[in-house]
Amino acid sequence: MQATSRTGASWFIRLVVVTLLVGVGSGVAGIAVTLLLRVAQHLAFGYSDGTFLEGVLGAEPWRRVVALAAAGVIGGFGWWALRRWGRAIVPVADVVDGARMPGLPSLLHAALQITIVGLGASIGRELAPRELGALFGSWLSDRAGLSPRDRRVLVAAGAGAGLAAVYNVPLGGAIFTLEVLLLDLSITAVIVALATSAIATLVARIVVPNEPLYALPSLPVTPSLVVWACLAGPVLGLAGAGFVRAIEVARDRRPTGWRLTVVMPLVFTGIGALAVVFPQLLGNGRALGQVAFDVALPTATIALLLVLKAVVTLATIGSGASGGTLTPSLAIGAALGMVGGALWNHLWPGTPVASFVLVAAAAFLAASLRAPITALALVFEFTNQQLGMLVPAMIAVAGSIAVARLLERRRVTGVD
């Protein structure tokens, strides 16, 4: 269909209708992702209610090994077949810039991601709903004959709305659209991003609980926390930038061809064996994040878990799996905050450790996403915290993103 001009009643009506439909479609994608994830989790670990970590802890240890081995086989053979016979998967950023996504391969790609996460793979689930939202936004925009500029906005909004739907974070999804995918604060972009994320979140609430991802009480802001945020922010930025670089290296070295069917099952089975002792390593990172917020384990154990979580996430990516890194990054940041906060309280006591955890999670996530405002919005929606905690979180995020951007600039320009 021929693209319409960006003026007049016809253009406005088409834009409104497509915006509404993209919001609904992204919400439906969020529902599908959530249901598939639950089915995989419940079948793998034999539980019917409660959180994923509770289900894993209540299951027999052998199930962790078997579930991860099955994930490796499904993922290894699934991606090998998809990459051999299917059309190449197009990244969301390229679709925003005008590329077209192949329909069936993209759907299968998303299904593989969610299946292996449900079986316990250490990778995020947020990439799949973003891809599905972008696919739907692209398809609808083309059918409606929208201009390339409007198509770009709707594709990005669909991806952000998919994120919003699956995690119940309407503001975070909208800001992700504007800050990460579009870098655009035009009135049209803002309205479309807000509307699609809100609609998708409402639709997805049919199955996605309308509650924070992490349960924790209202946290206080103390002078000790503010000082710690000033000092810890740059350190967390350094750690976040290092994690991003390690992810890039892992992706560049992942196996291809038939090797994928061997490497992924072996790596996943090894992670499953490790999870017999450390079940918090399984899944997209929510389990470790909640343990850190709850300060449910000794500091030394959390320190070990954060190192192992980083290693198994990199191993998962390096084995050839596709998926997001948002929740693994947040979990690692939260664990760093728990360890750092516990040590800091020996020098300056009086602040709940969970306050340090929240600040560190935001700072590490900002560096790994390269998106400070998105990270703040997501962490505060994930935890439903009072706005007073924004002050130390913003201080830490500022220090974190400054160091991360400086390191990225030095690496790109080759400055010593």
Report pLDDT digits (tens) over 277-302: 999 999 999 999 999 999 989 999 99
Instruction: Give the C-alpha separation, 285 to 384, whole Å.
Output: 18
Distance CA 210, CA 114 (A): 21
Question: Is residue 6 pLDDT above 80, yes or no?
Answer: no
Model pLDDT, residue 73: 97
Give the residue-averaged pLDDT of 325-350: 96
pLDDT given at position 409: 79
Cα atoms in the Cβ-side hemisphere of radius 13 Å centred on 156: 30
Sequence-distant (6+) residues with CB within 8 A of 345 are 224, 351, 353
Q: What is the pLDDT of residues 229-243, one digit of tens each?
A: 999 999 999 999 999
Average pLDDT, stretch 203-215?
94
Mean pLDDT of 381-408: 94
Please, which pLDDT band fits residue 411 given cuts at 50, 70 and 90? low
- Contacts of residues 273-278 at CB distance under 8 Å and 24 or more positions apart, as own/partner, are 273/65, 274/308, 274/312, 275/56, 275/64, 275/65, 275/68, 275/120, 276/61, 276/62, 276/64, 276/65, 278/304, 278/305, 278/308
**pLDDT of amino acid 49:** 85
- Yes or no: say if 377 and 193 are a contact pair by the CB < 8 Å rule: no
Mean pLDDT computed over 401-412 = 83
Q: What mean pLDDT is reported for the chain? A: 93
Distance CA 242, CA 333 (A): 13
Residue 184 region, left (φ>0) first, then alpha (ψ -120 to 50), else beta? beta
Q: Report the C-alpha gap between 390 and 352 in whole angstroms.
A: 16
Nearest Cα residue to 355 out of 217, 170, 184: 217
Kindly report whether the global pTM for this prediction surpasses the value 0.85.
yes
* Per-residue tokens: 131: 């891809």
Q: How far is CA 63 from the centre of its chain?
A: 26
Residues 328 and 350: beta-carbon distance below 8 Å: no
DSSP notation for 37-97: HHHHHHHHH--SSS-HHHHHHHS-HHHHHHHHHHHHHHHHHHHHHHHHHSPPPPPHHHHHT
